[in-house]
Structure 1
Amino acid sequence: MKNLNTPYFMINEQALIDNLEKAKQLKEISGAKLVLALKCFSTWGTFNTIKPYLDGTTSSGPYEVRLGHEKFGGETHAYSVGYSNADIEAVKPLSDKIIFNSLSQLEAHYENCKDSASLGLRINPEMSVAGQDLANPARAYSRLGVKQDILNLDVLNKVDGFMFHMNCENKDVDAFIRVLDHISTTFTEYLDQLTWLSLGGGIFFTYPNYPIEKLGLALKAFAEKHSLQVYLEPGEAIITRTADLVVSVIDIVENDKQTAIVDSATEAHRLDTLIYNEPASIKEATEGATYNYIIGSCSCLAGDQFCETQFEKPLQIGQKLHLLDSAGYTMVKLNWFNGLKMPSIYFERINGDIEVLNEFGYEDFKNTLGR
């Protein structure tokens, strides 16, 4: 690994399996089915490791639907905030379930889809466990899902299932159970007539010491109460702590504070660091140590930095740094801002072999902008 050119993502298969074993445990306790949320992680070179543990994939756009169908198999769930007619024609032959975001979308596409897949409707429970307003599906004026006051039991003539998504990295099982109880009480007359229900993603059941059994038993009781097949749509929970973004220090500049400039950028390679203002964690850093550095990107955006942290020794040009937990919402959001080199993607297998999943070059950059 010392000879690999930075920047690159390194996905660790053993860490991935450790998370998947927890997913297996949750499935066994709860009876729920789990489908991988491709909006979070679509690196299909790892799918052969994931497939034995999960039941399929769920998508937020037509290309994800196709990728899940072609490369993962199992159940393929299609959801979109808004389907065009062309989108529907693309996903219809590939999908086991098609979930609509609104009553108007359901009405527009029902006749075309009713014989092709099991249809569902996203519901806004008007209650959520999401740490940031930007990621809160139940925020004020949310466009995501149908509110109860415009629902009518007649919708049950057209759909077999509902989808609720109201969590974001929720580590609190009791908070989730409160939302689950709210859904059970508020939507009972609907749930008792449905055949399946998706509770979305954002439940961080692979977090250290998370009470998986408590979650599983709550899901099992809910499913039995309403005679439903429950689905979860984990993304981050499956791939958390499985990959590092490895970068090299290419310069050190000083302006009251020292900034180590690395050969990567948040805006291009780790966008959520910038969007959510959540600093990266560096494997080589020691909080409170002697030598303080801003870890700055090599993009032209003035505020583009990964974090500010401390090290036991001064950083050296050419030194590699590992930005921890860089799998979720990273590779799916890569872009060519500033024409920066795109990180390669590698997979460290259990036996120590390094598998090349993808490497990028100038032609890839050029071909995104014209032909």
Structure 2
Amino acid sequence: MQQNELKTPYFMINEDKLIENLEKAKQLKEISGVKLVLALKCFSTWGVFDIIKPYLDGTTSSGPFEVKLGHETFGGETHAYSVGYSEEDVREVADICDKMIFNSQSQLSAYRHLVEGKASLGLRLNPGVSYAGQDLANPARPFSRLGVQADHIDATVFESIDGVMFHMNCENKDVDAFIELLDAISAQFGEYLDKLDWVSMGGGVFFTWPGYDIDKLGSALKAFSVKHGVQMYLEPGEAIITKTTDLVVTVVDIVENDKKTAIVDSATEAHRLDTLIYNEPAAILEASEDGEHHYVIGSCSCLAGDQFCETTFAQPLKIGQRLHILDSAGYTMVKLNWFNGLRMPSVYCQRTSGAIEKLNEFDYSDFKRSLSQWSVN
């Protein structure tokens, strides 16, 4: 099977690039003693978990279906967290998770009796400091609902839980900035942490970014672990799968209205939602920074502002030409939707051997079934 034979749109995961990130994760673990659990909210394409499992310690979730998926397809440690559990949710996952982390003291109080004796109990704390590029993704934004604020803590709760989770980073590529957050947490919560068995620093630490000082991060995590006598966890998502996957699309039309727009057979609102939500332009493999031919790469959805990016090319684009939208793994496949009834991208993995493995494909029956269960005459 050759890539040019595959029907677009499709995602292509590259095993070699994935292993390159995972080797950095292995290096961090060896230096620091930290345990790493994959954040399924970012990436849960379980067809490549065979590549990831030898390197990581388990998975962490943001909802009950992710808990089940991690337990069934990944193994290792299964961490359960949700901003808001129902009693049904708790009962559903208490027997299959290793750690259950509650977002509030009220939820912990209401449901702990369903978890005790089955899983390690944890609570999310909000340190009031963070590193995030946009307010939308900032856990420490004003009036945040994410975790317990320091001035709201009932100190007695630490006598009857096993660990805590902090999540206050989003694409933090600055190791010194992360260490400052570690120091702030140690100073603010140290007396509580000393009573616990484990501490998770959540995700958003971009230790696989080119040039990131993994040794410095590892040493800081190890020092924190020793100081407070806790097992440290990180919950990487984007760091594991960054730069591993392309969304491959085809130019289906070229229109002009002061600017030329190449319309492709995909859409940000349906297939790459974070591009739209965060207004972060996508990168195109075939583009050229000094190219003379300027195009908007437009989606085929009906949303007027739905476009992937504006960029330049060395040669004019042609209808039927394929484009590779780079770095399309994180927060893409987990957010796919059927807006406009567009064709859902297939998912493939190019293995180290060069072989292309089909992980999933979709057709009209999947679209129809997603909307109603009974047949319509």
Q: TM-score range by the shorter chain?
A: over 0.9
- The equivalent residue for 1:333 is 335
SS in 2 for 1:278: coil
- The equivalent residue for 2:169 is 167
The CA deviation string for residues 236-263 of structure 1, in whole angstroms up to 9 with x for no partner, is 0000000000000000000000000000
Shift of 1:222: 0.4
Equivalent-residue separation in structure 2 for 1:184 and 1:58 (angstroms) = 23
Identical counterparts, % of pairs: 71
The CA deviation string for residues 166-188 of structure 1, in whole angstroms up to 9 with x for no partner, is 00000000000000000001101
The answer to whether structure 1 residue 211 and structure 2 residue 213 are counterparts is yes
Shift of 1:44: 0.1
Task: Tell me if structure 2 keeps the 8 A contact 1:110–1:158.
Answer: no
Equivalent-residue separation in structure 1 for 2:274 and 2:25 (angstroms) = 25
SS in 2 for 1:234: coil
The answer to whether structure 1 residue 75 and structure 2 residue 77 are counterparts is yes
- The equivalent residue for 1:319 is 321
Shift of 1:89: 1.0
- The equivalent residue for 1:182 is 184
- The equivalent residue for 1:289 is 291
Q: Please tell me the residue identity of whatever aligns with 2:98.
A: D
The CA deviation string for residues 58-104 of structure 1, in whole angstroms up to 9 with x for no partner, is 00000000000000000000000000011011111110000000010
Give the structure-1-normalised TM-score: 1.00
Task: Tell me if structure 2 keeps the 8 A contact 1:124–1:145.
Answer: yes
Equivalent-residue separation in structure 2 for 1:366 and 1:143 (angstroms) = 36
Pick aligned residue for 1:13 from 12, 15, 34: 15
The CA deviation string for residues 5-43 of structure 1, in whole angstroms up to 9 with x for no partner, is 100000000000000000000000000000000000000
Equivalent-residue separation in structure 2 for 1:184 and 1:114 (angstroms) = 27
Pick aligned residue for 1:27 from 29, 32, 38: 29
Equivalent-residue separation in structure 1 for 2:364 and 2:320 (angstroms) = 23
Task: Tell me if structure 1 keeps the 8 A contact 2:159–2:195.
Answer: no
The answer to whether structure 1 residue 58 and structure 2 residue 53 are counterparts is no
- The equivalent residue for 1:84 is 86
- The equivalent residue for 2:193 is 191
- The equivalent residue for 2:278 is 276
- The equivalent residue for 2:118 is 116
Equivalent-residue separation in structure 2 for 1:25 and 1:213 (angstroms) = 8
Task: Tell me if structure 2 keeps the 8 A contact 1:264–1:340.
Answer: yes
Equivalent-residue separation in structure 1 for 2:228 and 2:206 (angstroms) = 24
Pick aligned residue for 2:96 from 87, 91, 94: 94
- Could you list the structure 1 runs, at least 4 aligned residues long, displaced by more than 2 angstroms after superposition: none
Equivalent-residue separation in structure 2 for 1:143 and 1:125 (angstroms) = 12
- The equivalent residue for 1:226 is 228
SS in 2 for 1:130: coil
Q: Please tell me the residue identity of whatever aligns with 1:18.
A: E
Equivalent-residue separation in structure 2 for 1:262 and 1:287 (angstroms) = 20
Shift of 1:114: 1.3
Give the structure-2-normalised TM-score: 0.98
Equivalent-residue separation in structure 2 for 1:190 and 1:157 (angstroms) = 9
- The equivalent residue for 2:48 is 46
Q: Please tell me the residue identity of whatever aligns with 1:83.
A: Y
**Unaligned runs of at least 5 residues, structure 1:** none
The CA deviation string for residues 275-302 of structure 1, in whole angstroms up to 9 with x for no partner, is 0000000000002310000000000000
- The equivalent residue for 2:250 is 248
Equivalent-residue separation in structure 2 for 1:112 and 1:72 (angstroms) = 24
- The equivalent residue for 1:36 is 38
Q: Please tell me the residue identity of whatever aligns with 1:33.
A: K
Equivalent-residue separation in structure 2 for 1:173 and 1:265 (angstroms) = 35
SS in 1 for 2:65: helix
Q: Please tell me the residue identity of whatever aligns with 1:339.
A: G
Equivalent-residue separation in structure 2 for 1:230 and 1:107 (angstroms) = 25
Shift of 1:112: 1.4
Equivalent-residue separation in structure 2 for 1:290 and 1:214 (angstroms) = 43
SS in 2 for 1:128: coil
Alignment of 1:116-135 (within 5 A): 116-135=118-137
- The equivalent residue for 1:263 is 265
**Unaligned runs of at least 5 residues, structure 2:** none
Q: How many residues align?
A: 371
SS in 2 for 1:366: helix
Shift of 1:154: 0.7
Which deviates more, 110-119 or 76-85? Answer: 110-119
The CA deviation string for residues 187-244 of structure 1, in whole angstroms up to 9 with x for no partner, is 0110100000000000000000100000000000000000000000000000000000
Q: Please tell me the residue identity of whatever aligns with 1:11.
A: I
- The equivalent residue for 2:372 is 370
Pick aligned residue for 1:143 from 139, 142, 145: 145
